[in-house]
Structure 1
């Protein structure tokens, strides 16, 4: 068994998940070399009732009763058996050679503990007019990137994230010892994030590196709702919150800005376009929410 593919889902769009599974069925890597786990995180309609995965000889549905992407990922880690794990979101359509390329990277780059690739958005109803909205969902680059440091520029995202088992287990141990990590990532309707980054950083904790590779490609299915302003403002708030929490967990202290800094930030925001200003304010609101929570935890 070369690798385990783990799909974590919560109330997924059935048409999207069908495409995700279809892309996995079309992989060039023989199904004899990988297992498939579909982790259903308390979906209202059980995924096992609507999606047949019997085409794969080593596939199974798993029901995780604790709500939250972190819980689903931990369940996937515990249930899987291979030394290489690949996390696939329920809206990720992998290129047909994705698993083959991931295995080759694992062999060619034994120094790396976590890696990912390029993400190409497929927008429902066509791409939005605003370029910044397209950029929000695009992750492309022209050369392979890697580092032995906690470097956000080369840190892979959760979509198509490849991690060695010892890295995944290191991350699972970190979550057990510090439950605050469970506040990272999606939980129901909230848009917190950065659990994927925290897992990737676990590779650096073990003295291994991170990488992003041009030949690892997937299409990210983006529904209309994820390009509207309200959603993106909520996403910005969740990102601001998650960055502060991640920094705290990684030993970087963040405090409330001084009055003079708040005034300076306010003046800077006046120079921004209206939507940029709203996004900056949403991110700052998320940071403030996180700082307040951390202060309560420390009391």
Structure 2
């Protein structure tokens, strides 16, 4: 039995970025016999196995998951994992060389931690617009500084909670979450195909916290998140922020921690019109993106 499992979920991957991710894994300082690599193919349209090389890893495999959706892909990885520690890696993440080694070290010395994460720094494929920084969190980019942060469950979502990219999880902390997904009780619609809905990683974190585990941020855990030019376009970001805000409200509502009052369906349109003027959506791309985010929040509150 290995000490750690890397779960790499992918759907119609870009072969260049996926190979960058694999190269980052190949450079890990953790001895290769201490970890396994499971690539979960989430019903991709074409077979990408010939475009990547995993022959360097003696305990690696590609596993198909026919049910479309990131939640199901991750679940497949969790269930088939043979290790006590799991690290989730997206197909556009490049882990620092000591990432896996640091994960095991942190878990070893802090037995109450259920899930941890660290820095997710940008690797832009094109020059980013000057206003992009306001939307870093929506692009799964994060740097909370150089100090460790740890939180327990306090009936709200902690700011230091790990994001999906690079999230390391103690497998015993996943029991409740796995049971919920298998029983079909999840109220979260995570990424399905090309959709931009989200919240699956947040759902995992909340279930871990509710089970009595702590979560934490550790700056020594660092990865590069590849950001292609298309993801920096205003149209894409507007759709992303809109979908993310709607999913966020629905996630909080499903866990009974939504801080905002629900609104009637008929009240959505006038709120969106008012927000158009409040955000001055016509003035700039960031303003328009912010307005679309407000619209997503209202849609979530009307349907939660």
SS at match of 2:8: strand
| Whole-Å separation in 2 of the counterparts to 1:64 and 1:173 | 18
Q: Which one of 163, 170, 192 corresponds to residue 157 of structure 1?
A: 163
Residues 171-221 of structure 1, C-alpha deviations (whole Å, 9 max, x = no match)? 1212234544351x2111211111101101222111111101010000000
TM-aligned CA distance change 1:121 to 1:224, over 3 Å: same
SS at match of 1:197: helix
**How much does 1:64 deviate?**
0.7
| Whole-Å separation in 2 of the counterparts to 1:94 and 1:151 | 25
1:177-192 equivalences under 5 Å are 177-183=183-189, 185-192=190-197
TM-aligned CA distance change 1:284 to 1:65, over 3 Å: same
| Whole-Å separation in 2 of the counterparts to 1:213 and 1:129 | 28
Q: Which one of 274, 292, 295 corresponds to residue 282 of structure 1?
A: 292
Q: Which one of 130, 133, 147 corresponds to residue 143 of structure 1?
A: 147
Of the structure 1 ranges 206-215 and 45-54, higher mean CA displacement relative to structure 2 is found in 45-54
Where does residue 238 of structure 2 map in the other structure? Answer: 233
| Whole-Å separation in 2 of the counterparts to 1:61 and 1:90 | 13
Question: How many residue pairs end up in the alignment?
Answer: 293
Structure 1 alignment gaps of length 5 or more: 295-299
1:84-123 equivalences under 5 Å are 84-123=85-124
Where does residue 262 of structure 2 map in the other structure? Answer: 255
| Whole-Å separation in 1 of the counterparts to 2:277 and 2:218 | 40
| Whole-Å separation in 1 of the counterparts to 2:146 and 2:104 | 21
Contact 1:133–1:227 at 8 Å: present in 2 too? no
Of the structure 1 ranges 227-236 and 41-50, higher mean CA displacement relative to structure 2 is found in 41-50
SS at match of 2:279: helix
TM-aligned CA distance change 1:277 to 1:293, over 3 Å: same
| Whole-Å separation in 2 of the counterparts to 1:267 and 1:15 | 42
Q: Which one of 219, 223, 239 corresponds to residue 218 of structure 1?
A: 223
TM-score, normalised with respect to structure 2: 0.88
Contact 1:128–1:134 at 8 Å: present in 2 too? no
Structure 2 alignment gaps of length 5 or more: none
Residues 128-168 of structure 1, C-alpha deviations (whole Å, 9 max, x = no match)? 33353674443112211110134331111000001111222
| Whole-Å separation in 2 of the counterparts to 1:211 and 1:226 | 28
Contact 2:151–2:158 at 8 Å: present in 1 too? no
Contact 1:181–1:195 at 8 Å: present in 2 too? no
| Whole-Å separation in 2 of the counterparts to 1:244 and 1:125 | 32
TM-aligned CA distance change 1:288 to 1:176, over 3 Å: farther
Where does residue 268 of structure 1 map in the other structure? Answer: 278
TM-aligned CA distance change 1:152 to 1:192, over 3 Å: farther
What's the C-alpha RMSD, in Å, of the aligned pairs? 2.4
Q: Does 1:11 align with 2:15?
A: no
| Whole-Å separation in 2 of the counterparts to 1:197 and 1:93 | 21
TM-aligned CA distance change 1:126 to 1:259, over 3 Å: closer
SS at match of 1:193: coil
